[in-house]
Chain A
Amino acid sequence: MPDILPVNETGEGFTIPYFDQWMAMPVIIRVAVVFIGISTIFILYIQFRIWFTRYKGYLLNKRVEKVVPVIDALIAEEIFMKSETGQKGAPHINFDAFRIPLFANHKNKQILIDRLINYRRSFSGSIGNHFKQLYLELGLDKLSTKKMNRRSWNMKVRGIRELTGMDVSISDVNILPLTNSKRHELRTEARNAYIKLSKNEPFKFFDISSEPLLDWDQIELFKTITTTENIAIPNFARWVTYSNNKSIISFCLKLIVHYNQQDAAPAVIKLLETKDHILRAEAINCLGKLKYEPAEAQLRHIYSNQPLNCQLEILKAIGRMSTGESAQFLRQEFMYSTDFDIRKNAAMSFVRNASPEYIDELMEASNDENKLILKHSMNPLIKY
């Protein structure tokens, strides 16, 4: 066996080339040399990853470009054309036409799921149902359910989203616990899904929700509730009265306004006694938007005890009610308050409540700044 390590000049054992030079270097320099190597490898690796990430994106686009026309052609042939030909009863869709080797590949199958969800979203009625049927016939719901049962939260969200997109029901046992998940994204998605898919009590999770409904969640949920067809809308006063979750109460107030639930107003009035001035301001806002006139006198009565945000909401609410009964009160606030925002809001509500003569009279009695506020309030070009 040949020697692979050179013998040094004195013939004393083996030496590694440059080893002595390496050992002679200060530690700092040795560390620096190691980092030079690491940095160089890392730079090359990152460059490769940049290229690879883009290349993967390019391949995916290519795949989509190849698969989507096939899906579209099959759908046009099997669903659109058969629906159009006006066959009596339900058209016979040949689902086997979709069982082709192309869709055996899981990436292509995913493209098919995404495409079907897209179609389902765009078409309602019987055509929309055909897409759901196709999704179920091809067993794609099993893939979505499998995703929902995975450990990672984003796969769960993906599964829920797919099932919701195709209107496939998910059992309460599976979805309800997720509506209270610690993971915000999962919680939001589960709540949206529950509203969409639950046939009997879509708002049941309001009862069990202990996690807050963040403002962003409220926007998403509001959109889901107000755009889902055939949803049974309950009287939201129930949660305004009994819920311990303030964010649920706050959200219900917005829904009460949206569905103009006048019969919920007494429950909202009760909320004027809450200690939380933020929630109280929301309740006042709700009463104003409902134009619930019986509350006007009470709002005037509590006005002087309220913090600024509630006072501003009371002035706005009275303006929205426009009964004319509070014109004197509004005049008073406008004339004598030292706070600019109070005067501005009082003026805005005053012009909606008072007669033109009364407004002219107030204009006459006002100083220059108040005159400007009144003119501001009366100008139709200025909204706020």
Chain B
Amino acid sequence: METSIWDYFSSFFERGVFIYGMTMLLAYALLAILSYIAINRFRKKEQYTDYSQLTSSTLAPGISVIAPAFNEAVTIIQNVRSLLTLNYSRYEVIIVNDGSTDETLQKLIDEFDLVHVDFAYNEKIKSKPVRRIFKSSNTAYEKLVVIDKENGKSKADASNAGINVASFNYFLCTDVDCIIEKDTLIKMIQPFMSEEGRKIKEVGEPCPECGYVHVIEDNKRVIATGATLRIANSSDIEDGVLVRMRPPKHWIPRFQEMEYIRSYVLGKMGWSMINCVPNVSGGLGLFDKEIAIKAGGYDPLSFGEDMDLVTRMCAYMRDNKQKYAVRYIPSTQCWTEGPPNLKVFGRQRTRWGRGLIQIITIHKKILFNPRYGRLGLVVFPYNFLFEFLAPIIEFCGILYYIYILITGQINVQNALVLLLFVYLYSVMITTISLFWDQLVNRNYKTWAEVFGLSLMAFLEPIIYHPLIVFFALRGYYYFITGQKHVWGNMQRQGFGQAPKK
């Protein structure tokens, strides 16, 4: 009897994993096709858009750039200078000093002639108390606002304070140590302004108070846009400007660079094509402030605050029966410093794993719920099945593999063929994403650099992927056992700084 139950289980597991695996492979193939279409459309459009002509337009909507900073004294001046020189007519830069214990604030005060101002702070979203708000007495830095607040132990809390101070209807959230391309704001605001099909619909009877028939905009409102992020660990940076892009030399950031290209250029662009973008990266995202506030802003307790915000914004739109879109552009607009070693990398990925399970738990009502449209039937199920469950299924699969190997139930030849198939398929998908990237971003100077990076695709399934699975499972474990999260320090080298000896 025991044997037959086991047989039943193993048959179910094998068939289940087979269907699961094939669906995942098909999803990747579909994303590759969709992203190709999206990238080609973008390329054609971009060919005829002179962004430099439009950056000075008085009609362009204002944007508040929000960059939280915690103990960034080493690089803060250079980073803020870089943010102040973006090519756009109407924007402000809001630096949120999140209770730094180093000289971050003092350096800002000295460098930018900051003075304390009586600022009417309106707390639309909860955050830790704001102590002071500074503006520059030097007109050259009139775009700069610096908030000094109590440490909220998360980027989300600092970002919320920034949103409360933001003057404009759109805000760009970034990390203060990211290097942003000069044309980022105009490129990222474009999807907000060029969503087609704007129709205005009159609804209901005339309002008894004012006599007007109120109207609603029956258009798809773009609520967030994202752009491609890249790892700049081995690139040359001068005065906050990236002058020579190179693939990272160290293997951990190098794998991440490859992963980022696949995730943004192939994954996010594919999802953007069918309006199913699951997440806008915390490193660079432009948001509709009104909707972000109505959705409650960032959750300071979330480990995946960026994905959580996008999910809540989408859910808000669905709850209020408004059409929405979250868009991505494939061009590289932001360069960030990736975790340089396994320890920091592990901490980051554990947090991401923890964030994912937290989001799935918090928003479980959305999962497979037709009321939430694509969010409930595509975005969330995909995240649940192929992002959240994948490490668990993979881990179980490895255990099962070992078991059938030991008990001699495996046909080694067939198993090797299947392994080779999956391996080459994954290499193929990564290689395709590198090609898509080459179509739109010619960041590397030589072909050899691209080729060198593409070779990492052959090592990824053996070295990098098992690490990701391990850290994700660790994140789930920490979440389930309620282990306290230690944020730790990223120990950034800082761009353009002399390496520490």
Contact = CB atoms under 8 A, between A and B. Distances in A.
Interface of A: 25-26, 28-29, 32-33, 35-36, 39-40, 42-43, 46-47, 49-51, 53-55, 57, 154, 157-158, 161, 184-185, 189, 212, 214-220, 222-223, 246-247, 254, 258, 275-278, 305-307, 340-341, 344, 369, 372-373, 375-377, 379, 381-384
Interface string B442-453: 100001001100
Interface in B118-135: 118-120, 122, 135
Given A36-B417, A184-B194, A278 B217 contact: yes
Contacts of B61: 215
B500 interface: no
29 contacts: A26-B414, A29-B417, A33-B417, A39-B428, A42-B428, A43-B424, A46-B431, A47-B451, A49-B435, A50-B454, A55-B447, A154-B48, A161-B48, A184-B194, A184-B196, A185-B48, A214-B193, A215-B192, A216-B193, A216-B194, A247-B198, A275-B215, A305-B209, A307-B210, A372-B120, A376-B120, A379-B118, A381-B135, A383-B167
Contacts of B136: 381
Contacts of A247: 198
A54 B435 CA distance: 10
Contacts of A307: 210, 214
B42 to A, nearest CB: 11
Contacts of B54: 219-220, 223
Nearest to A218: B59
Given A54-B447, A185-B48, A219 B60 contact: yes
A372 B118 contact: yes
Interface of B: 18, 44-45, 47-48, 53-54, 57-61, 92, 115, 117-120, 122, 135-137, 142, 167-168, 190, 192-196, 198, 200, 202, 209-215, 217, 414, 417-418, 420-421, 424-425, 427-428, 431-432, 434-435, 438-439, 442, 447, 450-451, 454
B451 A50 contact: yes
Contacts of B209: 305
Contact of B420 (A36, A189, A220): A36
B442 A277 contact: no
A383 B142 contact: yes
Contacts of A157: 48
Contacts of A305: 209-212
A185 B428 CA distance: 34
Contacts of A35: 421, 424-425
A157 to B, nearest CB: 5
A117 to B, nearest CB: 12
Contact of A216 (B190, B200, B202, B447): B190
B425 A39 contact: yes
Contacts, number: 159
Given A184-B194, A214-B194, A382-B135, A219 B454 contact: no
Identify whether the interface residues of B are mostly helix, strand, loop, or mixed. Answer: mixed
A376 B414 CA distance: 74
A377 B118 CA distance: 9
Nearest to A154: B44
B111 to A, nearest CB: 17
Which of B428, B432, B442 gathers the greatest number of chain A CB atoms within 10 Å?
B428
A158 B214 CA distance: 42
B210 A306 contact: yes
A114 B43 CA distance: 19
Given A50-B434, A184-B196, A305-B210, A381 B115 contact: yes
A37 to B, nearest CB: 9
A277 B215 contact: yes
B420 to A, nearest CB: 6
B451 A43 contact: no
Given A29-B417, A54-B447, A219-B57, A278 B215 contact: yes
Contacts of B414: 25-26, 29
Contacts of B142: 381, 383
Nearest to B418: A32
Nearest to A224: B53
A379 B117 contact: yes
B120 A373 contact: yes
Contacts of B18: 28
Nearest to B442: A57
Nearest 5 CB-CB pairings of A with B: A384-B167, A215-B193, A375-B118, A305-B210, A39-B424
A42 B425 CA distance: 10
A154 B200 CA distance: 30
B197 to A, nearest CB: 8
B364 to A, nearest CB: 35
B163 to A, nearest CB: 14
Nearest to A37: B424
A47 B431 contact: yes
Contacts of A369: 120
A277 B450 contact: no
A226 to B, nearest CB: 9
A220 to B, nearest CB: 7
B59 A219 contact: yes
B53 A223 contact: yes
Nearest to B437: A50
A112 to B, nearest CB: 19
A223 B48 contact: no
A276 B198 CA distance: 13
Contacts of A216: 190, 193-194
A189 B45 CA distance: 11
A53 B439 contact: yes
B198 A212 contact: yes
B326 to A, nearest CB: 18
B418 to A, nearest CB: 5
A148 to B, nearest CB: 13
A340 B454 contact: no
B435 A381 contact: no
B117 A381 contact: yes
A305 B212 CA distance: 9
Nearest to B415: A29
Nearest to B429: A39
Contacts of A340: 120, 122
A282 to B, nearest CB: 12
A222 B60 CA distance: 11
Contacts of A161: 48
Contacts of A276: 200, 215
Given A157-B48, A344-B120, A376-B118, A36 B198 contact: no
A275 B115 contact: no
Nearest to A57: B442
A275 B44 contact: no
A373 B48 CA distance: 45
A53 B454 CA distance: 15
Given A32-B418, A275-B215, A50 B59 contact: no
A43 B61 CA distance: 44
Contacts of B418: 28-29, 32
Nearest to A35: B421
Contacts of A376: 117-120
Contacts of A49: 435
